[in-house]
């Protein structure tokens, strides 16, 4: 089938075969981005949802080979915010108009379930939705967080290729990652996943399987990010695909075609590779942006990859800047919570 026919099918049926997804990933036709933009407009409208991101700890017990927060990296200064500092940041976020706060961190065992619950309860005193992104936890922990008031949870599968997954994640298991996603769904969270694009030994075929995995599991949110090598990791010398920004954009756009009503962020990693990356993503299927509301003091220390954007900006500046950009393309900032349905 030609690209044109595949796109026509995707726009009307929101279903594609593995071979068809591969054709789209290999095609250089920008019609893919236009089609994803149309589907986004039809199912999600012109509103962009902003989620205020708090990076509350960069301490991590894991050793993901691509990530600057990995425990073996001794070259970063570690930090861990106290519960009242986290709640104060969330309160400020609510005052700025955020309707969702995202709490993200390394896999820091200091934050036991009862402490996280205390933070959840504090944040939820505001009128907002709360998303957690704390990595792998037990079913019991996820249940306690949900009961304390957490609404959503993000945990990327990173790659669905089992061999690549085990190569990149020492002492972790693909099965446990799947277990987390299954538990979260069964507990009634809006569940988000996603993948990295441009990893060593990753192929276009693997990315096609990632996309079909998102579709099969009908996730509520999908975040796609280009892999950006970090100098203090084992992958420091690896060079991803020449146009990894474009490849990430393709994966994101096809995800929009197959899951027309989900929430898809224009990711910060995309903006790191392209100065207009988030706006291009918003015009290629995305409908969410996650501005950072962490204090300027801590931002440079949450270095999952190098050259992260807005390191010296205040959270007020970030909100103002992204709002202007969103309005410049004829879209509006939503005043709602932005649940999937
Ligand atoms: N500990 C949490 C949050 C991880 S950080 C968890 O396990 O879910 C959030 C995301 O950053 C990760 O899921 C990963 O996809 C992305 N990330 C990590 N290192 C990266 C890199 N070098 N380049 C691009 N994205 C990266």
Q: Please give the torsion angle defined by the CA atoms of residues 255, 319, 104 and 336, in that order, rounded to the nearest 10 degrees.
A: -60
Domain assignment of residue 261, yes or no = yes
Which residue's CA is the closest to the ligand 1 atom numbered 7? 135
- The whole-number pLDDT of residue 308 equals 94
User: Is residue 333 within 8 Å of 113, Cβ to Cβ?
Assistant: no
Query: Cα(338)–Cα(146) distance, rounded to whole angstroms?
Result: 18
- pLDDT 10s digits, 52-77: 999 999 999 999 999 999 999 999 99
pLDDT of residue 121: 98
Q: Per the domain annotation, does 8 fall within a domain?
A: no
Give the pLDDT confidence score for residue 24 in this predicted structure: 98
**12 in any annotated domain:** no
Pocket of ligand 1 (CB under 6 A): 66-67, 104, 106-107, 133, 135, 155-156, 158, 196, 225, 227-228, 230, 269, 304-305
In terms of residue numbers, what domain contains 129? Answer: 19-333
Q: Looking at ligand 1, which residue's alpha carbon is closest to its atom 19?
A: 67
pLDDT in tens, 41-51: 999 999 999 99
Over the stretch 222-245, which tens digit does the pLDDT of each residue have? Answer: 999 999 999 999 999 999 999 999
Confidence of residue 94 (pLDDT cuts 50, 70, 90): very high
50 close to 291: Cβ distance less than 8 angstroms: yes
- Average pLDDT of the chain? 98
- 338 within domain boundaries: no
Atom of ligand 1 nearest to the CA of 304: 19
* pLDDT tens digit sequence for 134-146: 999 999 999 999 9
- Give the β-pairing of 47-50 and 52-57: unpaired
- CA-nearest residue, atom 2 of ligand 1: 135
Q: Is 262 part of any domain?
A: yes
Residue 256 has pLDDT above 90, yes or no: yes
Query: Which residue among 225, 226, 245, 294 has the greatest number of ligand 1 atoms within 8 angstroms of its CB, and so is best to mutate?
Result: 225
Q: Which atom of ligand 1 is nearest to the CA of 235?
A: 22
Q: Residue 1 has what pLDDT?
A: 86
pLDDT at 49: 98
Q: How far is the CA of 1 from the centre of ligand 1 (A)?
A: 35
Please check whether residue 3 lies inside any domain of the structure.
no
User: How many angstroms is it from 215 CA to the middle of ligand 1?
Assistant: 21
Atom of ligand 1 nearest to the CA of 228: 23
CATH classification of the domain holding 62: 3.20.20.70
Residue 1 lies in a domain: no
Phi, psi for 236 (deg, rounded to 5): -60, -30
Separation of CA 304 and ligand 1 centre (Å): 6
**C-alpha dist (Å) from residue 51 to 61, 70, 98, 228, 288:** 26, 25, 6, 23, 8
Q: pTM for the full model?
A: 0.98
Ligand 1: which of 66, 159, 171 to mutate, most ligand atoms within 8 Å of CB?
66
Instruction: Choose one of 56, 60, 67 to mutate for the ligand 1 pocket test, by most ligand atoms within 8 angstroms of C-beta.
Output: 67
pLDDT at 318: 94
CA atoms within a 13 Å half-sphere pointing along the CA-CB vector of 95:
9
Q: Looking at the 3D structure of the chain, how many domains does it have? A: 1
Mean pLDDT for 118-140 is: 98
277 domain residue, yes or no? yes
Which amino acid residue places its CA nearest to atom 24 of ligand 1? 227
pLDDT-derived band at 109 (thresholds 50, 70, 90) equals: very high
User: What is the 66 CA–ligand 1 centroid distance (Å)?
Assistant: 8
Nearest CA to ligand 1 atom 20: 67
Residue closest to 32 by CA, chosen among 283, 221, 320: 283
């Amino acid at each position: 089938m030609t690209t044109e026919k595949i796109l026509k099918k995707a726009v009307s049926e929101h279903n594609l075969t593995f071979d068809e997804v591969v054709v789209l990933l290999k095609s250089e036709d920008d019609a893919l981005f236009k089609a994803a933009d149309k589907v986004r407009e039809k199912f999600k409208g012109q509103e962009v949802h902003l989620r205020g991101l708090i990076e509350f700890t960069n301490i991590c017990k894991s050793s993901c080979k691509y990530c600057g927060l990995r425990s073996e990296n001794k070259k970063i200064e570690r930090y861990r915010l106290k519960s009242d500092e986290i709640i104060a940041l969330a309160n400020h976020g609510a005052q700025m108009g955020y309707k969702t706060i995202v709490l993200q961190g390394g896999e820091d065992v200091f934050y036991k379930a009862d402490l996280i619950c205390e933070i959840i309860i504090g944040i939820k005193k505001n009128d907002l939705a709360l998303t957690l992104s704390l990595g792998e936890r037990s079913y019991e922990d996820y249940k306690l967080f949900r009961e304390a008031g957490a609404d959503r949870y993000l945990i990327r599968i990173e790659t669905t290729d089992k061999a690549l997954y085990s190569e990149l994640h020492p002492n972790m298991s693909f099965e446990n990652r799947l277990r987390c996603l299954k538990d979260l769904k069964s507990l009634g969270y809006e569940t988000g996943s996603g993948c990295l694009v441009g990893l060593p030994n990753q192929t276009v075929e693997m990315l096609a399987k990632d996309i079909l995995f998102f579709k099969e599991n009908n996730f509520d949110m999908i975040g796609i990010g280009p892999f950006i090598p970090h100098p203090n990791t084992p992958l420091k010398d690896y060079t991803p695909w020449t146009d990894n920004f474009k490849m990430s954009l393709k994966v994101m756009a096809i995800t929009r075609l197959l899951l027309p009503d989900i929430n898809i962020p224009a990711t910060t990693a995309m903006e790191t590779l392209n100065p207009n990356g988030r706006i291009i993503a918003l015009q290629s299927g995305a409908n969410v942006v996650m501005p950072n509301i962490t204090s300027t003091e801590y931002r440079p220390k949450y270095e999952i990859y190098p050259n992260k954007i807005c390191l010296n900006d205040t959270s007020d500046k970030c909100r103002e800047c992204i709002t202007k950009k969103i309005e410049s393309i004829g879209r509006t900032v939503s005043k709602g919570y932005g649940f999937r349905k």
